[in-house]
């Protein structure tokens, strides 16, 4: 479908790569010569951000494609289960996220001289898995809302990242945020991952403080996944009760 | 004969509105059941509940003797669905779309199966085309191919020919009829086209305000409309016939010279013709328009209470 859908190619491939490139140049211009650690942490944050945003976008928009094609009833009139449907999109999201991360990493290495494999492999994997799981969780809840309320809220699928990005302290420390927003940021697993990422790049090693951030963030990510699955099931059930599930296909 | 589908006391409420009201029916193997009713009668809601995409408020659905709620996947494996309102993935080719559904239905030797069906429905040449670029007729045929990928024992057809012109609709209907005969398929068929329903359905459920108000064969339902139309064309001015009709208080219209149109009970027609012929008037032409399923539909829809 990718080669026939320019929207998907632009959204999933072009935008993320351009973000890494443009963000890299801006960071280099502002900080490159004065603060190498900060410069790298900004590029790497943008690179890892793509894992979350690509995952969330892919999981959510795939359902919209089925709605736009009026294909949803056909799908769910087949023996396909919701679990299988979800897993299929989760696998697609994983492939796309790895692809984008790979291309972005290559650009970061070739253009800005930083290799992500300088980070400890286990640390890298934990951060990526957490960002992927959070992307899945939020994507799932967004699909659930679309099933329950229809495509009138479809803009959330591509707009939600813009709401969550400033709150998740992706490019700056949590302490920069005003206090009410810090409280919100503390319940987001993304915040812990990007704090840990920043500290590790600046420290040059995964110190105990970063380890603690990874543990806390992972627990919250897992909690998000469990809650999002339960909430998704509830939204699907209410959508089938209200008749909106089938109406989404018209 | 075992029932493929049994529906018992099915009800669906949307808030205060009752869309489907305590309906019960069954479909036997090899039979084609039509579901008729005007817009909002509850047909589509019923189909959606039968597919599991809308949850019933109460009642039970069983496929092949097993409760649908607790045997969803095995039931859906043995049935299929086609609607003119639900299409396949627009930006994917015909072949890719059909492959996706072949995987979902776990179709054995799916490439051969898809090829066979595409050939049967005469759309083999478009298999590499993008689905959204197809004409309505081509889309309907591809949807039919999709609906037969799992060799279903029952197909739920929701106005499958609604988007087609009469010629293509006729051809599509013939293909469905032939396939049904060859495979002894059961079909639940909704349509607004009464001729289609009369042509392919063994029995008809008539829904009104969510309830089944009639359940019979198309011919028997048509017979429930007792009024027929008699058109008589005379050799000369039929003054004597007018007088006869006035005397018997039978209403008529006189729109063309030497012609009269009489609306009357069907069983009165022989007597009227006999009596008018006794006046000595020579009739050049006699046309009798007997009631059809469409007349029944109109009568019910207009709520004229003229059913015997």
pTM of the model: 0.83
Domain ranges of chain B: 3-78+152-217, 89-146, 227-290
Task: Give the lowest-confidence range in B88-102, B109-123, B170-184, B192-206.
Answer: B170-184
pLDDT digits (tens, 9 = 90+) for B188-222: 999 888 888 888 999 999 998 999 998 999 888 87
- Structure ipTM over 0.90, yes or no: no
pLDDT classification of B304: cutoffs 50, 70, 90? very low
pLDDT classification of B306: cutoffs 50, 70, 90? very low
Contact list in B for residue A245 (CB cut-off 8 A) is 53-54
pLDDT digits (tens, 9 = 90+) for B231-290: 999 888 888 888 888 888 888 888 788 888 998 888 888 999 998 888 888 888 999 988
Residue B3 neighbours by CB distance under 10 Å: 17
Whether chain A has a CB inside 8 Å of the CB on B146: the answer is: yes
Give me the sheet containing B17-28, strands edge to edge. B17-28, B3-14, B58-63, B66-67
Query: Given this model, what pLDDT does residue A249 score?
Result: 77
Two domains, one topology: B3-78+152-217 and B227-290: no
Give me the sheet containing B186-190, strands edge to edge. B79-83, B154-158, B186-190, B32-36, B203-208, B211-216
**C-beta atoms of B51 and A5 within 8 A:** no
CATH number of B227-290: 3.30.70.120
pLDDT digits (tens, 9 = 90+) for A117-174: 889 999 999 999 999 999 999 999 999 999 999 988 899 988 899 899 999 999 999 9
B3-78+152-217 is a CATH 1.10.357.10 domain: no
Mean pLDDT of B283-307: 75
Whether chain B has a CB inside 8 Å of the CB on A147: the answer is: no
Using a 10 angstrom Cβ sphere, with 0-12 exposed, 13-18 middle and 19 or more buried, the burial of residue B259 is: middle
pLDDT classification of B303: cutoffs 50, 70, 90? low
Mean pLDDT of B140-161: 92
Of the two residues A115 and B47, the one the predictor is more confident about is B47
Q: Does residue B59 have a pLDDT over 70? A: yes
Mean pLDDT of A168-188: 93
75-94 of B, contacting A, C-beta below 8 A: 76-77, 80-81, 83, 85-92
Of the two residues A204 and B56, the one the predictor is more confident about is B56
Pair B117, B145: CB distance under 8 Å: yes
Q: Does residue B102 have a pLDDT over 90? A: yes
Domain ranges of chain A: 2-247
Query: Given this model, what pLDDT does residue A3 score?
Result: 59
């Amino acid at each position: 479908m990718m080669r026939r859908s320019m929207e998907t190619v632009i959204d999933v491939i072009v935008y993320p790569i351009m973000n890494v490139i443009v963000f890299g140049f801006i960071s280099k211009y502002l900080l490159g010569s004065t603060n190498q650690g900060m410069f790298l942490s900004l590029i790497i944050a943008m690179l890892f951000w793509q894992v979350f945003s690509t995952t969330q976008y892919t999981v959510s928009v795939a359902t919209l494609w089925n709605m736009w094609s009026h294909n949803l009833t056909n799908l769910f009139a087949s023996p396909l289960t919701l679990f299988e449907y979800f897993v299929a999109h989760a696998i697609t999201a994983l492939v796309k996220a790895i692809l984008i991360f790979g291309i972005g990493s290559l650009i970061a290495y070739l253009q800005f001289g930083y290799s992500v494999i300088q980070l400890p492999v286990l640390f890298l994997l934990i951060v990526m898995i957490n960002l992927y799981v959070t992307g899945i969780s939020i994507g799932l809840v967004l699909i659930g809302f679309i099933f329950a309320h229809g495509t009138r809220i479809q803009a959330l699928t591509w707009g939600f990242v813009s709401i969550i990005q400033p709150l998740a302290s992706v490019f700056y420390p949590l302490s920069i945020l005003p206090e009410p927003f810090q409280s919100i940021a503390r319940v987001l697993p993304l915040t812990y991952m990007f704090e840990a990422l920043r500290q590790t790049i600046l420290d040059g090693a995964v110190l105990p403080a970063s380890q603690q951030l990874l543990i806390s963030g992972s627990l919250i990510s897992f909690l998000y996944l469990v809650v999002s699955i339960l909430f998704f099931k509830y939204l699907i059930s209410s959508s089938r009760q209200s008749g909106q599930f089938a109406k989404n296909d018209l | 004969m075992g029932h493929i589908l049994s529906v018992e006391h099915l009800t669906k409420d949307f808030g205060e509105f009752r869309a489907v009201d305590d309906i019960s029916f069954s479909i036997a193997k090899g039979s084609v059941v039509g579901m008729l009713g005007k817009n909002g009668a509850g047909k589509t809601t019923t189909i959606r509940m039968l597919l599991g995409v809308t949850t019933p408020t109460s009642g039970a659905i069983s496929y092949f003797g097993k409760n649908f709620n607790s045997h969803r996947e095995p039931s859906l494996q043995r049935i299929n669905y086609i609607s003119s309102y639900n299409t396949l993935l627009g930006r994917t080719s015909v072949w890719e779309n059909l492959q996706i559904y072949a995987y979902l239905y776990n179709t054995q030797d799916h490439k051969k199966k898809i090829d066979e069906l595409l050939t049967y429905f005469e759309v083999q040449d478009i298999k590499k085309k993008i689905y959204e670029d197809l004409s309505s007729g081509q889309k309907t045929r591809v949807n039919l191919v999709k609906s037969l990928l799992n060799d279903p024992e029952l197909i739920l057809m929701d106005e499958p020919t609604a988007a087609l012109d009469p010629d293509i609709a006729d051809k599509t209907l013939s293909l469905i009829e032939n396939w049904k005969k060859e495979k002894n398929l059961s079909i639940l068929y909704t349509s607004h086209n009464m001729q289609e329903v009369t042509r392919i359905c063994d029995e008809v459920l008539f829904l009104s305000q969510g309830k089944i108000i009639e359940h019979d064969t198309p011919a028997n339902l048509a017979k429930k409309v007792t009024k027929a139309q008699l058109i008589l064309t005379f050799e000369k001015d039929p003054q004597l016939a007018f007088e006869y009709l006035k005397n018997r208080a039978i209403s008529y219209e006189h729109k063309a010279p030497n012609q009269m149109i009489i609306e009357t009970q069907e069983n009165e027609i022989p007597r009227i013709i006999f009596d008018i012929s006794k006046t000595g008037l020579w009739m050049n032409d006699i046309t009798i328009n007997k009631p059809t399923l469409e007349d029944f539909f109109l009568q019910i829809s207009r709520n004229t209470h003229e059913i015997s």
